[in-house]
Structure 1
Amino acid sequence: MTVAADLLLRHFQTLVADNARWQGLIADDLLWELPYGPGIGDPARLAGRDEVMRHVTWFLGAVENFRFFDIQVQAFADPEAAVAEVKAEAVIKPTGRLYRQQYVVFLRAAGGKIASLREYFDPTRAAAAMGKPILPQAS
């Protein structure tokens, strides 16, 4: 397993289940891109540990019984890059609704840490579970 593939697997294993351990995996200048985030009022990118942790803290407070499953990590020829397809489910605390999602996540590692994440998800599923409208995207 490459450095990036291992980090990506550990990202899924610890983000929710052991967030303190997850924080040790990320670079201080982590860039987390969420291209579909603006469709539900979330940012398109989080830059640096402080921004990432604000968003992750909000997320962890908004979900209950969150779990990732069917994790399929693929290493690239470049040992510092990997991609994964993963499913997740949780209950959204403010609405009590079930959240089911499929993600595709690209990871780039640097210095043995997660340097960047690019996460794709279906914003319509997130909006339905969170009781949020789908917002128009700027072109």
Structure 2
Amino acid sequence: MRLLLGKDIPAWLGLWAEDGVMEFPFAPPGWPARLEGRTAVAAYMRGYPDHIDLHDFPGVRIHETTDPGTIVVEMRGVGRMVKTGGPFDMTYIAVVSVQDGRFTSYRDYWNPLAVHEPGMDFTRSSAR
């Protein structure tokens, strides 16, 4: 989260296993539902700082699971949309699995209806 707040996308990508998978189970039509491999995740995240200026992740809650390599994270990202200057406020639940210190699976459950909210000017070709 510190890396995303600092807009250090290359360092954030360094946390990923080469064959890590990022999934968006609630992705709306036209948005990717699954990214396979660090290269695909990198392409998706390339324009992230150009679209969203994250300021904070207030109220992060981490839940352990029966699998020591997997956690469930409840979080809220707040900031502003770069293009419009409008507010960004998104609640997420992520199921994150790690092996050898690298993300192997990241399932991102976010609200797909938010892409239609006023001020939330998202771009399909890059990160929310």
Range of TM-score over shorter length: 0.7 to 0.9
- Give the one of 51, 63, 69 matched to 1:74: 63
Q: In the alignment, is residue 104 of structure 1 matched against residue 114 of structure 2?
A: no
Q: 1:86 touches 1:103 (CA, 8 Å); kept in 2?
A: yes
Q: Which residue of 1 aligns with 2:121?
A: 130
Tell me the distance in 1 between the aligned counterparts of 2:59 and 2:37: 29
Which aligned segments of 4 or more residues in structure 1 are displaced greater than 3 angstroms?
Answer: none
Secondary structure at the residue paired with 1:78?
Answer: coil
Structure 1: runs of 5+ lacking an equivalent = 1-11, 133-139
Give the Cα–Cα distance (whole angstroms) in 2 for the partners of residues 46 and 16 of structure 1.
22
Residue 15 in structure 1 maps to residue 4 in structure 2: yes
| In 2: Cα distance, 1:94 partner to 1:104 partner | 26
Give the 3 Å change call, closer, same or farther, for CA 131–104 of structure 1 in structure 2. Answer: closer
Q: CA RMSD in A?
A: 1.9
Residue 113 of structure 1 aligns to which amino acid in structure 2? R
Structure 1 match to 2:17: 27
Partner of 1:121: 110
Return the TM-score normalized by structure 2.
0.82
Q: Deviations over 1:6-65 (max 9, x none)?
A: xxxxxx2223423333222111111000122234x3211111111101111122221124
Looking at secondary structure, tell me which structure has more helix per residue: 1
Query: Are the counterparts in 2 of residues 99 and 126 from structure 1 also a CA contact under 8 Å?
Result: no
What TM-score results when the alignment is normalised by the length of structure 1?
0.76
The alignment partner of 1:53 has SS state of helix
% identical aligned pairs: 26
